[in-house]
Amino acid sequence: MLATSPQTSARLPVSPALFGQMRAETLPALRPQVAPQNRMNFTDGQEIFAEGDDAAHVYEIVSGAVRTSKLLSDGRRQIDAFHLAGDIFGIELGAEHRFSADALGDVTLIVRRRVSFTARAGEDPAAARDLLTSTMRMLERAQDHLVLLGRKTAMEKVGSFLLSLMERSNGGDHLELPMSRLDIADHLGLTIETVSRTLMELQRKQAIEFAPCSRAIIVKNKGMLRRMAE
């Protein structure tokens, strides 16, 4: 459920799920002026919305990271996406969330009503084009993730994941990972032991190295990492 932030005392109804990553800067026509009361803060592990909650709002990440996931019938967790600063998530076709969303560390979100967000697309041709373009990008990400889950080896999965994070972090070689290795495993359809072994193998081959502290990874050889991900 939504938490109350210092900027607002009203409890907003919980909100919408996601198809992949939609970038806020690709939707200029859909971004009205943000009122201070539309910002909400969440702490590490705090639930933003749960599967089955009403999909009444759309979210933009100002800072931090969010994971969206589904709990399977056998108790396993499948993480479908990680959302970073600048991403928009929570857009649903139906009335309810298909996934739950949780904060990875401290997170600040901009919360907009879904009806207002989609109404602009219906009224403004530029907004409609922005929304269509971003929806197609989300579909591409979903298709890439299906291939990654179904066809790639553990090395290819982990390599592809790190390359994707690099691209979303403007190509920088220093990757601050807000997610744990268990999160990565649940996203890639691997065990945490396999993820750890694969990262150690990438370090042994000098494609990456682990930063002295935190979960940061430094990509030392992007070309090698790309070859190992193919």
* CA–CA gap between residue 80 and residue 2 (Å, rounded): 20
Task: Note the pLDDT of residue 44.
Answer: 97
Tokens 């943000």, residue?
34
Which residues are within 8 A (CB) of 209 and not within 5 positions of it... i.e. 6 or more apart? 203, 217, 218, 220
Task: Identify the pLDDT of residue 32.
Answer: 52
Measure the CA–CA gap between 69 and 91, rounded to whole angstroms.
14
Domains and CATH numbers, the chain: 22-147 (2.60.120.10), 152-229 (1.10.10.10)
Whole-structure pTM value: 0.78
Q: ∠ at Cα 98 (96, 99), nearest 5°? A: 120
Cα–Cα distances in Å, from 17 out to 84, 112, 186, 221? Answer: 15, 13, 18, 36
Burial class of residue 27 in the structure, from the number of CB atoms within 10 Å of its CB (0-12 exposed, 13-18 middle, 19+ buried): buried
d(CA 122, CA 72): 35
- In angstroms, the CA 111 to CA 135 distance is 19
- Other Cβ atoms less than 10 A from the Cβ of 89: the count is 26
Nearest to 216 by CA among 165, 152, 156, 168: 165
- Tens digit of pLDDT at every position of the chain (230 positions): 554 443 333 333 332 333 345 555 545 445 555 555 589 999 999 999 999 999 999 898 999 999 999 999 998 999 989 999 988 889 888 899 999 999 999 999 999 888 877 777 777 787 677 767 767 776 777 777 777 777 789 999 999 999 989 988 876 789 999 999 999 999 999 999 999 999 999 999 999 999 887 789 999 999 999 999 88
Instruction: For the beta carbon of residue 221, count every other beta carbon within 10 angstroms.
Output: 15
The CA-atom distances, in angstroms, between 109 and each of 36, 38, 55, 205 are 11, 8, 16, 39
